[in-house]
Amino acid sequence: MRAIFFLFLATYLFGESALVSPKDIKYKEYLNFDELQDINSDKRTYCTKFDKLKLLEDEYIAKRHIIKNTPICTKDVEVAPNYKIKFDFGNIVIERSGEFIGETDKYIKVKTQDGTIEKIDKNGM
């Protein structure tokens, strides 16, 4: 009985809390505040733990593929870039979030935040 009590006490005292995700996080995927969990682990983590409260201030994306139930470190995430594009079609001005890819005579290509490529016609249709 004492051995079991000592084991739980040692895990509590020497264990570290770690921020993990219950599912895999893909490369350049946005981190979701609700999906991340803070758990106590008896294993030692050799990195600086990422603070979950930072997600309330800024949006963060993964710098690499993070396997589920592995600790999330500050080196694994970065602040998401905030790309805004303005289109001026004369009397209509459109502002969109995304990254400019290219332009032709008929349309403009924009890469959205989720990675899809969107074509915007210059005639407004």
DSSP one-letter string for 91-103: S-EEEEESEEEEE
Query: Order of strands, edge to edge, in the sheet holding 107-111?
Result: 99-103, 107-111, 117-121
Q: Where are the alpha helices (DSSP H) in 39-102?
A: 54-57
pLDDT at residue number 6: 54
* Same domain, yes or no: 101 and 116: yes
Question: Do 52 and 71 share a structural domain?
Answer: yes
User: What is the pLDDT, as a whole number, of residue 1?
Assistant: 67
Task: Give 1 or 60, the one with higher predicted confidence.
Answer: 60
Residues 73 and 24 in one domain: yes
State residue 90's pLDDT score.
74
- One domain, residues 27 and 51: yes
**pTM across the whole model:** 0.62
Same domain (yes/no): 33, 63: yes
Least confident of 6-10, 25-29, 34-38: 6-10
CATH number, domain with residue 61: 3.90.1210.10
My answer on whether 89 and 71 are in the same domain is no
Residue 112 to residues 35, 44, 53, Cα–Cα distance (Å):
22, 38, 26
Closest by CA position to 21, among listed 80, 59, 77, 81: 77
Residue 7 has pLDDT above 70, yes or no: no
38-49: average pLDDT? 79
Q: What own/partner pairs with CB < 8 Å and gap ≥ 24 does 78-81 have?
A: 80/30, 80/113
55 and 70 in a single domain? The answer is: yes
Degrees to nearest 5, angle at CA 10 with 9 and 15: 110
116 with 96, same domain: the answer is yes
CA distance 21 to 12: 21
103 and 60 part of one domain:
no
Using DSSP, state whether 55 is helix, strand or coil: helix
User: In the chain, how many domains are there?
Assistant: 2
- Asked if residue 8 and residue 59 are part of one domain, the reply reads yes
Over residues 44-63, mean pLDDT: 87
DSSP-assigned beta bridge partners for residue 78: 61
Provide the percentage of residues in the chain whose pLDDT is more than 90.
15
Q: Are residues 42 and 71 in the same domain?
A: yes
| Residue-range definition of the domain harbouring residue 114 | 84-121
Kindly tell me if the per-residue pLDDT of 28 is higher than 90: no
What confidence tens digit (pLDDT) does each residue in 81-121 have?
A: 887 888 777 777 878 888 888 888 888 888 887 778 988 88
